């Protein structure tokens, strides 16, 4: 049985492990954290990734974790819609709407599906030999036919294999995330844009509300009280935002500076190593596609890797162009949300609402290439074989 070693037990690593096991690989996923402890936040999984998860038998269990959102779109800070659609319309177009769930629950489902014996926690990989397939860890070396580097945005494997790549760049935006009990607040899932500011609200299962927010700030800005900072920026926005922030536990609010790979890697493989997820194509969260693309990567990699991991050029051919496009699309939305000049913001909002009136399906149409993706042939629903051009476009 061919042997795959996966570096990193995040969404990309776990899904790669599951997909490879289904193709008959003996899989070991190495995760440096001593226990699974994902950040306390929600996560949106869109139609493209749900279709990929269907091929692993996990689409429905993951749909069941989520709460369906009624409407989606963008509002002004006073609550008036700029553009919106309903999840029914999205479902009719792509066969699924976006589902939003606790990140921790998704990780539990993935870890269960992988199987406890295949996940080794508390093991740090210190290096790989891409030609021989040796993985060096703090507990000794492992020999692999295929090494999957799913070690995240600051991937040491990427740095070693592509030393000329500049790595992640700060987008200029910092992001807060938090989980807040619904209480008696009237919650409609929404994303609202102001001057350089974004605030998102999603109602999850068990009456938990996932909130996220962004602002344009210098990298590394430190605040004493993150909730106070949120209240200062969003305390006079439309309901339920002020009420949610007042109900939030300050200790439960996390913040990260958002980085992405502005320069695509020249390839997603070297020798016996394939990169997946943020290690290959970290992106800003504006499209909610970072984890979704990692899930697509995993399914395509397992489909193309061959019996001995000797077809990795086909994996690069299938994934590099598609993910680079998603990275760029996400970054262009990020840039639009960063506008702070009142005239530029007024023009942006006017442009969006006029375009939405003349093309009511504008919001979904702009996502067609991303969300219409379908998994490869023989993987529950695709008939595109292993042709890289068909896999790139993802269209059946
Ligand atoms: C604010 C925000 C909101 C987001 N919202 C969404 C969303 O709604 N939908 C969506 O699809 N995406 C979203 N994303 C993006 C998504 O979180 C990431 O794209 C996704 O988690 C990447 O998964 P990954 O497995 O590639 O990397 P990671 O989750 O970073 O996992 C990498 C793992 O590798 C381990 N590791 C690293 N180095 C080593 C080593 N040397 N040895 C062993 N283990 C190692 C790490 O401990 C880690 O567990 C969001 C991102 C942000 C910042």
DSSP string computed for 328-370: HHHHHHHHHHT--SHHHHHHHHHHHHHHHHH-TTHHHHTTHHH
* Per-residue model confidence (pLDDT) at position 189: 85
What's the token pair of residue 314?
A: 């086909």
Q: How far apart are CA 349 and CA 357, in angstroms?
A: 12
Q: How far is the CA of 278 from the centre of ligand 1 (A)?
A: 6
* Per-residue model confidence (pLDDT) at position 71: 75
Q: What is the total residue count of the chain? A: 396
Counting as low any pLDDT under 50, the low residues of the chain are 381-384, 396
Q: Which domains does the chain have, with CATH numbers?
A: 3-168+261-393 (3.50.50.60)
Ligand 1 atom with the smallest distance to the CA of 8 is: 34
* Per-residue model confidence (pLDDT) at position 127: 97
Q: Is 12 in the pocket of ligand 1 (CB under 6 A)?
A: yes
* Per-residue model confidence (pLDDT) at position 365: 84
Q: Is 98 in the pocket of ligand 1 (CB under 6 A)?
A: no
Ligand 1 atom with the smallest distance to the CA of 283 is: 19
Record the pTM. Answer: 0.95
| 49: three-class secondary structure by DSSP | helix
Q: Is 289 in the pocket of ligand 1 (CB under 6 A)?
A: yes
Q: Is 83 in the pocket of ligand 1 (CB under 6 A)?
A: no
Q: Is 278 in the pocket of ligand 1 (CB under 6 A)?
A: yes
- Give all strands (DSSP E) within the chain, no chain letters: 3-7, 26-31, 42-45, 67-68, 71-76, 81-86, 99-102, 119-121, 125-129, 134-137, 140-143, 146-149, 169-181, 190-193, 198-203, 208-216, 254-260, 269-270, 273-275
Sign of CA dihedral 40, 328, 91, 338: positive
List, as one string, the DSSP characters of 14-38: HHHHHHHHHTT-EEEEEESSSS---
Q: Is 11 in the pocket of ligand 1 (CB under 6 A)?
A: yes
Contact assessment for residue 262 and residue 330, using Cβ atoms and an 8 Å cutoff? no
């Amino acid at each position: 049985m061919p042997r795959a070693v996966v570096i990193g037990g995040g969404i990309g690593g776990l899904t790669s492990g599951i997909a490879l096991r289904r193709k008959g690989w003996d899989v070991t996923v190495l995760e440096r954290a001593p226990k699974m402890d994902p950040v306390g936040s929600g996560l949106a999984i869109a139609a493209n990734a749900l279709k990929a998860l269907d091929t692993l038998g996990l689409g429905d269990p993951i749909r069941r974790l989520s709460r369906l959102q009624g409407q989606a779109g963008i509002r002004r800070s006073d609550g008036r819609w700029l553009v919106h659609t309903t999840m029914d319309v999205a479902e009719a177009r792509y066969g699924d709407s976006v589902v939003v769930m606790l990140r921790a629950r998704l990780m539990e489902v993935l870890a269960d599906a992988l199987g406890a014996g295949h996940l080794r926690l508390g093991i740090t990989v210190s290096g790989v030999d891409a030609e021989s397939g040796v993985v060096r860890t703090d507990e000794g070396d492992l020999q692999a036919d295929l090494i999957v580097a799913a070690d995240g945005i600051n991937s040491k494997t990427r740095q070693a294999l592509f030393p000329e790549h500049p790595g992640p760049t700060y987008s200029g935006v910092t992001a807060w995330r938090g989980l807040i009990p619904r209480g008696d607040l009237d919650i409609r899932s929404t994303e609202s844009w102001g001057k350089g500011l974004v605030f998102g609200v999603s109602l999850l299962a068990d009456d938990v509300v996932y909130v996220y927010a962004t602002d344009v700030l210098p990298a590394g800005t430190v605040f004493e009280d993150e909730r106070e900072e949120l209240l200062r920026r969003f305390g006079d926005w439309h309901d339920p935002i002020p009420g949610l922030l007042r109900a939030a536990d300050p200790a439960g609010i996390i913040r990260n500076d958002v980085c992405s790979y502005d320069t695509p890697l020249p390839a997603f493989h070297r020798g016996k190593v394939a990169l997946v997820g943020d290690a290959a194509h970290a992106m800003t969260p504006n499209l909610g596609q970072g984890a979704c693309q990692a899930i697509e990567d995993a399914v395509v990699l397992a489909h193309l890797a061959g019996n001995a991991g000797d077809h990795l050029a086909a994996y690069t051919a299938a994934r590099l162009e598609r993910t680079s496009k998603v990275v760029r699309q996400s970054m262009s939305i990020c840039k639009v949300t960063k506008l702070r000049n009142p005239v530029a913001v007024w023009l942006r909002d006017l442009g969006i609402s006029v375009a939405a009136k003349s093309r009511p399906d504008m919001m979904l149409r702009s996502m067609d290439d991303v969300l219409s993706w379908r998994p490869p042939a023989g993987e529950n629903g695709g008939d595109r074989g292993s042709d890289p051009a068909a896999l790139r476009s993802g269209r059946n």
